Amino acid sequence: MKPATMTVPPFAAVVLASLLVGCAGATATTRVSPSPEANTVDALFHDYDGPDRPGASVVVIHDGQVVLRRAYGLASLERHEPATPDSNYRLASLTKQFTATAILLLVQDGRLGLDDRMVDVLPGFPPSLREVRVRHLLQHTSGLWDYEDFVPATQPVQVKDRDVLALLSGVDRTYFPPGTAVRYSNSGYAVLALLVEQVSGMSFARFLHERVFVPSGMRSTVAHEEGVSQVPRRAYGYAVDPSGFVPRDQSPTSAVLGDGGTYSSVVDLVAWDRALDSDALLRAETRKQAWTPPMLPDGASSRYGFGWFVDDDGGRQRLSHHGETCGFTNAIVKYPEQRLTVIVLTNRAGGAPWTLAQAVADLWLDRPAKDGPPTNRPWPFETLPNAH
């Protein structure tokens, strides 16, 4: 099929206190408390450490406490600004957690249903895709075509969420009947951001700020809109070419918010993790839904819930997500039953921070990474079509 040619035209005091502790005295190599794991973590991140290279920030949260927090390299090469735990990176697809949470909040409010058909709740959704439902978009079982396939690298104006819907209007079918298979689709999450706006009556960025970021205690996180909002302590993105590191902070699709437009720091993501583990935002039964992938008609599990990859790691439930975009590559690994979360944010294209996050997690799971990051355990996104 050839697409039609188109012109893209109060979270309580405990969280506040934890944030104050997290911000105090943060430096490029902050460690919350001395631990034997710190030297191992430093060794794992040696490629990000140095006065002339893009950096990384990492945090480990165990039993609700920050047990290790580090940063390496530079947030801005041009300004020689070191990365710190407070540096705000473009999260790329880690943003999908927030988009899914926004939808689930509207479901909890009784203003939206997971089985609502998109044509019934979002004006302009293509009538030819009438069987696509809200939950299909959340779980990547919609079969929607990816909007990036329609955007040339030379696109002169950045695409926004509303443009994604316009691009989809030129499509008359899905990859497969909705709900019957799984294929990762950034289009689905861009459309979900539009649905949040339609149902809530406010912009997606404002909804995230008022209903997700502020209640969670995330004081500097922002769904960034150029010319509208500012990113404090911003990390800038880079790539590698034969001459070395070069700026690669924006692309034609960097302005789409629903699938990847949030900036945040590991400090703020500690607050987010605590909010996830409480009833600050979502009820327990809603969180369980978000962390449970659907069964497909062929009996297989899709391994994707609502904004999270979900799999089994040696008998432990593992939640994870990767984020890859122009100039940034990130990862989060979360073990709910072990109350362990590791977050790695980097401001360079390429690399595999998910293997670093897992190697760090293994230090607290009694699986020391003696010889570097593990390479033999597959990640769900490595086998999910279109996810990597």
For 175-212, the pLDDT digits (tens) are: 999 999 999 999 999 999 999 999 999 999 999 999 99
pLDDT score recorded for residue 43: 95
Q: In this prediction, what percent of the chain has a pLDDT beyond 70?
A: 88
- The reported pLDDT for the residue numbered 383 is 87
Range 343-370 average pLDDT: 89
152 confidence band (pLDDT: 50, 70, 90): confident
pLDDT averaged over the chain?
Answer: 89
pLDDT, mean of residues 82-105? 98
Q: Is the dihedral of CA 93, 95, 98, 99 positive or negative?
A: negative
- Summarize pLDDT for 4-23 with one digit per residue, the tens: 333 333 333 333 333 333 33
Query: Residue 88: pLDDT above 80?
Result: yes
In words, the CATH class of domain 36-363 is alpha beta
Look at residue 6 in the predicted model and tell me its pLDDT: 37
Within a 10 A sphere around the Cβ of 80, how many other Cβ atoms? 10
For the chain, what's the residue count? 388
**DSSP string across 243-300:** TEEEE----TTTT--TTT-EEE-HHHHHHHHHHHTSSSSS-HHHHHHHT-PPBPTTS-
Q: What is the pLDDT of residues 357-388, one digit of tens each?
A: 999 999 999 765 444 444 466 789 988 989 97
The domains of the chain are located at 36-363
